[in-house]
Structure 1
């Protein structure tokens, strides 16, 4: 699924690996299990977050503007700098990447070490005022600390997944496989399957938060540049082709693919554009 982000993939891999080696480390009691779950559950999320900016640049081939080489880059750089100052954050890195898709994203370890990137397609398809609103939306994500909050939520969920999967694995091992000593095949098989299933179910919670934070970022954009500009940008997105960011960045874009089925809506990282427009129209900005 396109909206299963880098967090879920990395965290499941870390938790699965830990589940295989934990018994070898002698962590047999509840306290040790909880300590390992907390360390590695949170660790997986923050490893993903720490690598997010570097990975984003590599996956998109983004060109970071260090010294603007033309008027368009200068405007883009100056606009982000002005908005960052207004939002009370350090100047993010500003990048452009070559794509016909109309999209943008923000990522980074914290409010003062972020990346804001836009596609060439967005710059060509939108009016300058609409690009300004999109940039303000991404700057608001950074100012709101959305990336860190998302990592914290995923880390807490990881901890519960790890512990619950171990419990399920032990029950399967003892009840179905009749193993009364140590860790048998039922424990390993049951734990891994439980982690995968629980991880997918837990991603529904993560995606709910992702959708919720989009409304806050839209409101942040409205505060910085005015609601009318953000509404115009969202309407432009309705007419254009937003494309699909790489799986790992889907939750960080200005928009994502809009599935209509119940299953697709549960795993959608962004709310429908029409809902975002209505929310802005009803706002005070």
Structure 2
């Protein structure tokens, strides 16, 4: 409930930003134009983003012949979550990661990398899949689209305000003794988009915490997801993923390796904090990092490599 309230408050702040920047332009007309344009762009993204992102990462739909255990796990968890069985895709990438997409539970897709299937045991895989199904159950794709729409509107409004100031809109306000003037308008046009981006990322982080908690309930235990996050945090740094920054927020852990201003501009909460919340212990008490994967003798690794080789050969 705390994360739901936080999301609502953040979206309310985003709405206030839209109103503030809209007033800089002297009325509601510019604000409405920006909202319509942003909504149009995000409407397209909402309906077609699943197909775009799956093609972007060369994901292939899993079949019962190729991945019967994976599909059985998804089916079991979907039943426990009270959701329709989603489509399941496998991404031919070594980096362990996963994401969910689709405009609603009836059109959901869960995608996992081959690296995740190679690295995780059954309980850990179930934890990751439950987390992704939690995103579907909590309608996080819809909420993310709303946040993106509002952020896009603020950026368009800020751009309009900046050009208005450059071409004399601010002088008019100065002469009339009202408004913010050229400097104030330009400053707001720079600050507002940054604030919108930070708020949008904060919304994403709050939804990750909620998906962790919901996913632990779906799986029946938080331990599988906690152990999976330990491995994901370690191996995502060791094996960076060639991911598009615009899709980074979709994955269970951030696939990008950049660390500058990570806590402020990251789409994901710190992995250590997520693990500590799942286990109910203070941050820093999550235990040692997982050992590196064995170089031989692990039947799961051998099976995963064979399946990946088949995918690449098709």
TM bucket normalised to smaller: 0.7 to 0.9
Of the candidates 266, 269, 278, which is equivalent to residue 267 of structure 2? Answer: 269
- Where do 5+ consecutive residues of structure 2 fail to align? 1-24, 173-184, 282-314
Of the candidates 105, 110, 119, which is equivalent to residue 99 of structure 2? Answer: 105
Residue 221 of structure 1 and its aligned partner are, at CA, apart by 1.5
Of the candidates 59, 64, 68, which is equivalent to residue 68 of structure 1? Answer: 64
Counterpart for residue 299 of structure 2:
none
Residue 176 of structure 1 and its aligned partner are, at CA, apart by 7.4
Of the candidates 219, 225, 228, which is equivalent to residue 230 of structure 1? Answer: 225
Distance 1:162 1:95 in 2: 35
Is 1:241 matched with 2:239? no
Cα pair distance change 1:165/1:130, threshold 3 Å: same
3-state SS of paired residue (1:271): coil
- Where do 5+ consecutive residues of structure 1 fail to align? 1-27, 179-190
Counterpart for residue 137 of structure 1:
131
Q: TM-score, normalised by structure 2?
A: 0.69
Is 1:123 matched with 2:117? yes
Residue 148 of structure 1 and its aligned partner are, at CA, apart by 0.7
C-alpha contact (below 8 Å) 2:162/2:186 kept by paired residues: no
Residue 45 of structure 1 and its aligned partner are, at CA, apart by 1.8
RMSD: 3.0
Count how many residue pairs are aligned between Structure 1 and Structure 2. 243
Counterpart for residue 279 of structure 2:
281
Counterpart for residue 75 of structure 2:
81
3-state SS of paired residue (1:112): helix
Residue 241 of structure 1 and its aligned partner are, at CA, apart by 3.3
Is 1:157 matched with 2:151? yes
Q: Deviations over 1:146-203 (max 9, x none)?
A: 111011112123333333432343233116789xxxxxxxxxxxx9998787444421
Distance 2:143 2:229 in 1: 25
Counterpart for residue 33 of structure 1:
30
Of the candidates 33, 42, 46, which is equivalent to residue 43 of structure 2? Answer: 46
3-state SS of paired residue (1:109): coil
Of the candidates 158, 165, 168, which is equivalent to residue 174 of structure 1? Answer: 168
